Amino acid sequence: MRIGYACLTIGVPNTELKTCLLKNASDEKLTELIKHNLNALENMIDYNIDNKVELFRISSSLIPFGSNPVNRIIWWEVFEKQLKKIGKKIAKSGMRVSMHPGQYTVLNSADENIVANARLDLNYHARLLDSLGLNSEHKLILHVGGVYNDKKQAVKRFLKNYHGLDQAVKNRLVLENDDKSYTIEDVLIIGKALDIPVVFDNLHHQVNPCETNQSHCFWIDACKHTWKSQDGNQKIHYSQQNSEKKAGSHSKTIGITEFMAFYQELKGRDLDIMLEVKDKNLSAIKCINCTIGKKEINRLEHEWSKYKYAVLERSPLDYLEIRKLLNNKDSYPSMEFYNLIETSFQKETTIGNSINVAQHIWGYFRTLALPSEKKYFLKLLDQYEKGEASLKKVKKNLWKMTVKYEQNYLLDSYYYVII
């Protein structure tokens, strides 16, 4: 079983993707952005390999305006060497990647211009995966689209327009149920008619259920029959509801207790599980560490080195509990560990705790810093205490110092990214 995340890597330097406004999309600018983004993607892939993350969704915005005529760069040739290099890393590591065209890629629209643009977008996505040299196990995920006041006709248009797609797209295309229009039962009918795989999304099913009341595992098993050997392992999407937002909104993090209950229901089914969640790789590694076969305490200790200061500024008591928990080197208390972290993040930071942690972080470079840097840091802390400066500004200054004085331990810390 592989567990992964989508598009962005949180808290890892040099993985940010860049784009520009359409009016600024010159050949020179786009070439510069593509070069930057491919370097960022390679850093993401390296991070995934180092952390044993074997499932990853590549962002559609990797090649800015990839399906828009404004992008005249023959990027698959210009960057062929690096694309092949990245693809070899992916294949050698056993990682599986995918892409998921956005909400405007609609194949069943009644508007031919929208359908034509959808074809261009799907061609772009397929070309990118082809340029990486990856086989057909690396998929493109697509929703069926809209209903347009007549669901039967909308489905007929999808079936018709699918047959007009390039074979390179057909080789990779997978359908997914959505949270508004097409239930998993609807999508299975279409998938079977076209003989293409279907992905089950648990949260979409929760928001947009079938009339037939069956368990998640029933629908997962039904989808399994749509996956052929050349399609690779069956894949599903897993997410949890954000309690503060509208139905279907993804949670900030994956609650480990709820995830493990779902995982136990699977009863050994061999699935690839793509997490859709705001904190991306943080949740992926959490779930991997709780389901991994080889349980070594150093995995949790490594995680703790990243989380510790973010926990400390929220809850010194939880910080002490986690330290105590990890004292027993013969144990592997992954559930308790992550539950304590989740509990701490539900608590509000206090000015006193935040100042205490900021001073602790400053200790890493207090003997290296210039007098002017120390003076500015102390001034910022004073302003923060008085409500004249934000905690974000304090952390931005500490991050600048961390980078300048090459404090590698802090460069990996979630203190800077979980605010």
Reported as a single tens digit per residue, the pLDDT across 188-210 is 999 999 999 999 999 999 999 99
- pLDDT tens-digit map of 33-88: 999 999 999 999 999 999 999 999 999 999 999 999 999 999 999 999 999 999 99
- Cα–Cα separations (whole angstroms), residue 220 to 176, 199, 229: 12, 8, 17
Query: Residues 59, 64, 68, CA angle at the centre, nearest 5°?
Result: 115
Cα distances from 342 to residues 255, 269, 414, in angstroms, run: 7, 27, 14
What's the mean pLDDT when you consider all of the chain? 95
C-beta separation of 332 from 297 below 8 A: yes
Confidence band of 418 (pLDDT split at 50, 70, 90): confident
Question: What percent helix, strand, coil does the chain show, rounded to 5?
Answer: 55, 10, 40
Q: What are the pLDDT digits (tens) for 145-190?
A: 999 999 999 999 999 999 999 999 999 999 999 999 999 999 999 9
| pLDDT tier for residue 268 given thresholds of 50, 70 and 90 | confident
Give the span between the Cα atoms of 409 and 205, in whole angstroms: 41
CB 146 within 8 Å of CB 109: yes
Q: Distance between CA 245 and CA 251 in Å, rounded?
A: 9
CB atoms near residue 110 (< 10 Å) = 14
Q: How far apart are CA 139 and CA 129, in angstroms?
A: 8
Judged against a pLDDT cut of 90, whether residue 397 lies above it is answered with yes
pLDDT band at residue 213 using 50, 70 and 90 as cut-offs: confident
Amino acid at 261: A
The pLDDT score that the predictor gives to residue 161 is 97
pLDDT at 237: 98
Rounded mean pLDDT of 321-346?
95
Q: What is the pLDDT of residue 419?
A: 72
In angstroms, the CA 348 to CA 308 distance is 16
The residue type at 394: V
Strand pairing partners for 200?
Answer: 236
Model confidence at 272: pLDDT above 80: yes
pLDDT digits (tens, 9 = 90+) for 335-392: 999 999 999 999 999 999 999 999 999 999 999 999 999 999 999 999 999 999 999 9
